[in-house]
Amino acid sequence: MCREASFPSLRNSGSAVECKCISRRIEEKQARAAEFCPLYSSLRSIRVSSSSATIPALRSMAASNGSVSVDDTAPPVRIGREIRNTKETKVDVSIGLDGTGNCDCDTGIPFLDHMLDQIASHGLFDLSIKAVGDTHIDDHHTNEDVALAFGTALARAIGNRSGIHRYGDFSVPLDEALVHVVVDLCGRPCLRYTATIPTQRVGQYDTQLVEHFFQSLCNTSGMTLHIRQLDGTNSHHIIEAMFKAFARALRQACEPDPRRIGKVPSSKGVLSRM
């Protein structure tokens, strides 16, 4: 029995010719998706419970918002990729919103890699980020360009923003540190950042780059982002709580709203800036 025989659309057809034809179409679509996003293979292995209300919501979103939908028999995936090459940096970012928290990030900035791992893990995003930059000068260009490419990839993954919750709000403690983050995937870039990080560096990482990372991310993703440090004295704790709260809030904002399938969460009817 060929593998397509288990697909619902073919169960009663019994046609070997039709089977082969559909098999070829699916393989062509899979090849295109893999070319589009290196995360595709791992994302395809994700299985969501068939009783979950999430599947029809995700399928409808992928069909309507420009994300990749490979075939009708597997849960669709929302993925985005951006490759950004300049004389200062070369960056390749892929994000899968419906992931499991896999992170494969190597930016040449160890502390930033540690923070990107927080975004993937707590956002349940699958994240692949490779960057090579002029870190012999300092980390500024690489930090900024990773964030710009991340924002563009994220904007592609959420497409026209239909069917999502749009807003996310989360506070995360890390020992004595406490950070509150609110996200609005409204299409308008805006950052309000209120934090006092007591040391100039964490490891080799310049703590001024934290605000610049989030500003760059807002600029390309079209996100309104409020970050408020409520407590904390340890720089590593404060920054890590910030990234964890951001990840959780972003996950809430990106989650499908089963009551809003195919509809943009705005009384204007439009949120996309692309």
DSSP state of 80: E
Q: Which residues bind Mn ion (CB under 5 A)?
A: 240
- Looking at the Cβ atoms of 241 and 264, the one nearer to Mn ion is 241
Written as six digits, the tokens of 86 are 């300049």
The CB-of-174 to Mn ion minimum distance in angstroms stands at 8
- Nearest approach, Cβ of residue 236 and Mn ion (Å): 6
Which one, of 231, 218, 254, lies nearest residue 172 by Cα?
231
Task: Quickly count: other Cβ atoms within 10 Å of residue 228's Cβ.
Answer: 16
Question: In this chain, which residue has its C-beta nearest to Mn ion?
Answer: 240
Both structure tokens of 216? 């760059």
Distance of closest approach, residue 240 Cβ to Mn ion, in angstroms:
5
What secondary structure does DSSP assign to 46-63, as a single string? ----TT-THHHHHHHHHH
CB of 244 to Mn ion, least distance (A): 10
C-beta of 4 vs 240, nearer to Mn ion: 240
CA 80, CA 154: separation in Å to the nearest integer? 6
The residue (of 39 and 202) whose beta carbon lies closer to Mn ion is 202
User: Quick one: 129 or 242, whose CB is closer to Mn ion?
Assistant: 242
